[in-house]
A and B are shown apart, each in its own frame.
Chain A
Amino acid sequence: MIRAEGLSKQFGGFVAARDLSFEVKPGEIFALLGPNGAGKTTTVRMLACLIGPTSGQAVVAGLQVGRQDDAIRARIGVLTETPGLYEKLSPAQNLRFFARLYGLDAARIDSQVARYLEMLGLSARRDEPVSGFSKGMRQKLAIARAMLHEPQVLFLDEPSSGLDPEAARVVREFIAELRDEGRTILLCTHNLDEADRLADRIGVIKQRMIEVGTADALRRRLYGSSLAVRLRGATDAQVAAVRALAFVSDVTRRGDELLLAMPEPARTAPDVVRELVRAGADVVSVVEERRSLEDVYLTLVDGRP
């Protein structure tokens, strides 16, 4: 649904994005992660036909960026970094204006405005000026604006930035609903937890694309996979017993906890438990060790271990 090939953008001597290539499949949420100034917003702006790439090419919704920009803009929804709402107008007036720009007919304008105001809990204040709205309400309204024409491709730039936890959760749940409806979403975020929860795949960028994959694949690629087993009074014999298992490549002992490096922990965990019990161990807990996405991100962006 979105395909970028060697996309670059240069402002004077400053390279904002360099040779970006990635693909977002239909119905997928693809998160772009990166520090400030990494080129996330620039990438979204290029794909949304707001600015032209210096080099490279991209296809969005089957249309060529740079050649069919008006048609692309009619088929996508964009949530910009700042909500950018008309403060003196009401939510209904803001939405009606954009619905007309997207070419909706009068009857559909009414139904779509009512639908999204209701869906995002703004119906009760539909006729009040936006100037009195909280940041969370503004963000919800901006999301509704991007959805009015039911685009199949959505660009969401920092959708939960600056929101309180409750508002951020509402926004996240709404994005999940959009994915369930089969929409393709490119999500730019600093919020690693949000990316971990929502994204099918993640692209880590810092001007150039550093790594692309699912969160689990990135974890495995960087840290391998491991199983953490807590015992009551671990002994050297028990450690030796698990080390002898063919699929265990390494064992690290941290007091009563054993960290076993191995592929597919979910499949082989019962074998580990059986071997430990046979060696006389009291097994307290067995969990697949999951490194946080933050670890993955910092390793990729800053090279931290």
Chain B
Amino acid sequence: MNLSRLAAVVGKEFLEMRRNRLLLWTIGLPPLALTLLPPAILLAVRYLPAQEVSPEEISGFAKLVPQLTSFSTDELMELFLLRTFLTIFLLLPLVLPLTIAAHSIIGEKQLRTLEPLLSTPITTAELLLGKSLAAVAPAVVATWLAYAVFFSTMPWLVSTPQVYRALLEPTWLLAAVALSPLLSLLSVSCGVAISARVNDPRSTQSVSVLLILPVISVVAGQAVGWFLLDLRLLCVGSALVALVDAAILYAGVLLFDRETILTRWK
């Protein structure tokens, strides 16, 4: 693996991204929307007339966190809502890089830049890893920013300090630092592997529907009280995603057949 060539690919991808306004909006809007949504909903819940929430409605969640017995129903509701958002933030590293990766590989096909690129000494692994890193980095940074904005604004938005204290768990630090990059890599590896076989970025993006299912399942599972995304579950999940990442990256390199790409892509 030649690091200089790897850095060249990453640098070129960033340059192209900076010049693609549509792509920048596509990358920028979801994190912005997801970051603004929790404060907006908290304020809406607080200031708009709403139905009284009965303890039964969030009993599933309360049951999973026995140490929250001192919390009022409103506090529990707020905590449940915010934890749900923190889980939903994990969609960002899945969805964002897929858009970037789809444009990255299929863009090369459409511009017919792959043949000159492949006629250089670059290896398939360097090319794919460079493109993957370039797609992962902005998504991870966007996810970190979303978490940072969330945790820095919440002290002023939550109803009581104990809700905020309950939010400050190592689970979310691990989610941001470890799971987000791994999920990004999963998304990109899938994108790269699929876009090596199709000609339309939309085909690749449609895979995102499948990729977000596990995260949606976690949100739903917490809502109905089946389980809670805690540190242990997150560690197991991260290890599992890391294994899948490695397998799909390897498959991506195998699927990226230079000859097929050059002779059959039109």
Residues of A near any B CB (own CB < 8 A):
11, 45, 48-52, 70-71, 73-74, 76, 78, 80-89, 93, 97-98, 100-103, 129, 142, 145-146
Is B70 an interface residue, CB under 8 A from the partner? no
Is B202 an interface residue, CB under 8 A from the partner? no
- Asked if B122 and A101 sit within 8 Å, CB to CB, the answer is yes
Summarize B's interface: helix, strand, loop or mixed: helix
- Asked if A89 and B15 sit within 8 Å, CB to CB, the answer is yes
- Asked if A98 and B116 sit within 8 Å, CB to CB, the answer is yes
Is B46 an interface residue, CB under 8 A from the partner? no
Is B161 an interface residue, CB under 8 A from the partner? no
- Asked if B115 and A80 sit within 8 Å, CB to CB, the answer is yes
Specify the chain A residue showing the minimal Cβ separation from B120.
A101
Complex partner residue of B120 from A73, A82, A83, CB under 8 angstroms: A73
Which residues from B are CB-within-8-Å of A82? 112, 115
Is B114 an interface residue, CB under 8 A from the partner? yes
Q: With contacts A74-B121, A101-B117, A142-B116 known, what are 14 further pairs, Cβ within 8 A?
A: A45-B262, A50-B119, A51-B262, A52-B259, A80-B116, A81-B115, A82-B112, A84-B113, A86-B113, A89-B12, A97-B8, A100-B4, A100-B5, A101-B122
| Bound form: Cα–Cα A102–B5 in Å | 8
Closest 7 A-B residue pairs measured CB to CB?
A: A100-B8, A88-B19, A78-B119, A74-B121, A101-B120, A84-B113, A84-B112
CB distance from B39 to the nearest CB of A (A): 36
CB distance from A129 to the nearest CB of B (A): 7
Is B123 an interface residue, CB under 8 A from the partner? yes
CB distance from B131 to the nearest CB of A (A): 13
- Asked if A70 and B16 sit within 8 Å, CB to CB, the answer is no
| Bound form: Cα–Cα A101–B127 in Å | 10
- Tell me whether A86 and B119 are in contact in the complex, defined as CB-CB below 8 angstroms, given that A50-B262, A51-B263 are known contacts: no
Is B26 an interface residue, CB under 8 A from the partner? no
CB distance from B12 to the nearest CB of A (A): 5
Specify the chain A residue showing the minimal Cβ separation from B5.
A101
Number of interface residues of B (CB under 8 A): 28
Specify the chain A residue showing the minimal Cβ separation from B110.
A87
CB distance from B95 to the nearest CB of A (A): 23
Query: Could you jot down 8 A-B contacts, CB within 8 Å?
Result: A51-B258, A51-B262, A71-B121, A74-B120, A76-B119, A88-B19, A88-B20, A142-B116
Interface residues as binary, B84-95 with A (CB distance below 8 Å gives 1, 0 otherwise): 000000000000
| Bound form: Cα–Cα A70–B117 in Å | 13
Which residues from B are CB-within-8-Å of A78? 115-116, 119
CB distance from B254 to the nearest CB of A (A): 16
Which residue of A51, A93, A100 has the most chain B CB atoms within 10 A of its CB atom?
A: A100
Which residues from A are CB-within-8-Å of B155? none
Which residues of B from 161 to 175 have beta carbons under 8 Å from A?
Answer: none
| Bound form: Cα–Cα A129–B16 in Å | 11
- Asked if B15 and A84 sit within 8 Å, CB to CB, the answer is no
- Asked if B8 and A50 sit within 8 Å, CB to CB, the answer is no
- Asked if B116 and A145 sit within 8 Å, CB to CB, the answer is yes
Is B45 an interface residue, CB under 8 A from the partner? no
| Bound form: Cα–Cα A85–B16 in Å | 12
- Asked if A70 and B5 sit within 8 Å, CB to CB, the answer is no
Is B29 an interface residue, CB under 8 A from the partner? no
CB distance from A219 to the nearest CB of B (A): 34
Is B111 an interface residue, CB under 8 A from the partner? yes
Which residues of B from 120 to 139 have beta carbons under 8 Å from A?
Answer: 120-123
Which residues from A are CB-within-8-Å of B117? 84, 101
| Bound form: Cα–Cα A74–B123 in Å | 11
Which residues from A are CB-within-8-Å of B118? 50
